[in-house]
Structure 1
């Protein structure tokens, strides 16, 4: 009669489950990169193999080559991606900073004052459905052609997103949190800075991210119509006229890379620093 094998020791089970969990975590982390690489490979094969015309869908290798040549100024002045990107980034950051200041101040004021909220909220509800780029004709009539009109549209786009999120975040703070602190004699400044703002931080940070995304969209659209000489929106418009699809995709690549870098590097650092300042960051393992 064959001898049955002895069961594994119970101490081995956690180790094995840990290895399986580690492999699963690794697979989950790699999955997005594998999918992205597979899509790029299929795209490259379809374009190079003639299944899709390069005029309609240029291969990724050509897009990357055009992007690199444009960044160093080897693709001609009209398609100098580095020059156009720098002009766009200056307007983007100027509008985003101005919009962030106005949005944060306005959102906090509306969130803290029920009277002001009741007076202004109907106007916000009326303006919010209107896309920022729809104000481009108005901005050009009031301000004129050129970068001031673009800056105004970008600032408005950022303010509209931020003020809505920050107001909602502050109004969502439970009133019992304020009452609990008031019982210990805390003044209004302490309550705002140490209770309300930390509790509303996820909304504030979300407003910053949405404000940046809205600023990007408004910037590219405004540059196409506001009569500026340089900018990624201008380059996209010119490339479309000449069916330079590789240049169009190169500009889109620059926009995506810059946005991803700002979110993954810039916003991550701000979030960590702010959470540590307010004592909300986890500093030890649980």
Structure 2
């Protein structure tokens, strides 16, 4: 049996007998080394799984070395070669496993998505069946009639003006509440007397019913400014209390350590306080977005603000146009979801580490 090269890709394991191994060693043994003396060691290595052709490559590399050095280096070299081959085998065996795991994760993702789609389709079917069973256009409009009314509203020239006007008013009130709530929380965190001073006002704003706010603001401000002011009053206590709780969660030891290292107040706020209060602020904003939209549309409905979604819903109620009422409700839901995604994306961006943004500590 001859050796044609040191690189090979065997397809099946070959059984080597002593005569073949001895013949192989006689052909490739270094000068001064007895093949018969090497045979027991070679047999032991082959029985443990080593390939004689790998041993031949090691012997060829060791030609000219002392016999003792060959006897010491041969098992180590063979072990390294076999370890590398074992790592390659594990990698080849692990690749299908990783592919299986990846396909399993993708399969689980598809299953979750299919489950969600099934739930949505199920409740849409229940809604449509209820509409057909009741069969009263004034009481209920199913998803099909709601979709038809939504398409009809979508192609109205003033649809985007109405939707944009409501979105702008509510976004203005929410943004003002976010800024003012953060500033009030920062001031209250720094000065205890200021916190105690505004505590009764915050409590009153949190407990007064929304309808009372609508009536008072209609008397004081009129209908055009009602939506923004109502969204502001609904959201600002939520932002203030959450922000104050987040600032209180900052560790005192971390601030003391920052002072020892000479960090400025701006860097202490950015690198220590900001990671502590951002989860509180994000949670408050998620809740505040929904509350601002519910209160804002209610204010538009009471004040008949033009142009506004609330006024369109009031007109649909007046003319008993239930499909149109449901269609504008869907519009409010979609705008609320889009606005919430924009706010959460911005907050997620501001929650990033931003390492080195403000420079070194000195």
107, 114, 129: which is aligned to 1:45?
A: 129
Deviation at 1:21, TM superposition (A): 4.4
Q: Partner residue of 1:97?
A: 175
Structure 2: gaps of 5 or more residues: 1-92, 356-362
State the 1:148 CA deviation: 1.9
Comparing 230-239 and 251-260, the one that deviates more: 230-239
- Partner residue of 1:71? 154
Residue pairs, 1:214-225, within 5 angstroms: 214-225=291-302
1:258 maps to 2:335: yes
Change (3 A) 1:245 1:278: same
Q: CA deviation at 1:36?
A: 0.6
Per-residue CA shift, 1:169-219, capped at 9, x if unaligned?
111222222222222122333222221122211112222333322221221
> TM-score, normalised to structure 2's length?
0.65
Q: Counterpart of 1:34?
A: 118
Q: Cα offset for 1:17? A: 5.7
Unaligned runs of 5+ in 1: 1-9, 75-79, 280-286
Q: Which residue of 2 aligns with 1:276?
A: 352
Q: In structure 1, which of residues 182, 198, 204 is the aligned counterpart of residue 259 of structure 2?
A: 182
Equivalent pair of 1:178/1:195 in contact (CA under 8 Å)? yes
For 1:124 and 1:268, the matched residues in 2 are separated by 25
Alignment of 1:203-214 (within 5 A): 203-214=280-291
Question: Which of residues 205, 226, 241 in structure 2 aligns to 1:127?
Answer: 205
Q: Distance in 2 between matches of 1:165 and 1:89?
A: 24
Residues 73 and 81, structure 1, Cα contact 8 Å, conserved in 2: yes
CA distance in 2, matches of 1:82, 1:233: 14
Matching residue within 290, 303, 313 for 1:226 = 303
Measure how far apart 1:162 and its partner are. Answer: 1.4
Residues 134-177 of structure 1: CA distance to partner in whole angstroms, max 9, x if unpaired? 2111112222x221233222222222221121112111222222
Residues 134 and 32 of structure 1, relative CA distance in 2, 3 Å threshold: farther
Q: Give the number of the structure with larger relative contact order, counting CA–CA contacts within 8 Å between residues 6 or more apart.
A: 1
Q: Bigger shift: 125-134 or 230-239?
A: 125-134
CA deviation string 1:84-116 (max 9, x = no partner): 322212211222222222122112222333332
Look up the SS of the partner of 2:225 in the other structure: helix
User: Contact between 2:167 and 2:335, CA under 8 Å: does it hold in 1?
Assistant: no
> Contact 2:205–2:233 at 8 Å: present in 1 too?
no
The secondary structure found in structure 1 opposite 2:352 is helix
How far residue 72 of structure 1 moved from its aligned partner, in angstroms, is: 1.7
Task: Tell me by how many angstroms 1:277 deviates.
Answer: 5.4
Deviation for aligned residue 1:15: 5.9
Mapped partners of 2:284, 2:254: distance in 1: 23
Q: 1:23 aligns with which of 98, 107, 120?
A: 107
Cα shift at 1:254: 0.4
| CA positional deviation for 1:240 | 1.2
Contact 2:226 2:300 in 1 (8 A): no
| Aligned residues: CA RMSD | 2.7
The alignment of Structure 1 onto Structure 2 pairs a total of residues equal to 264
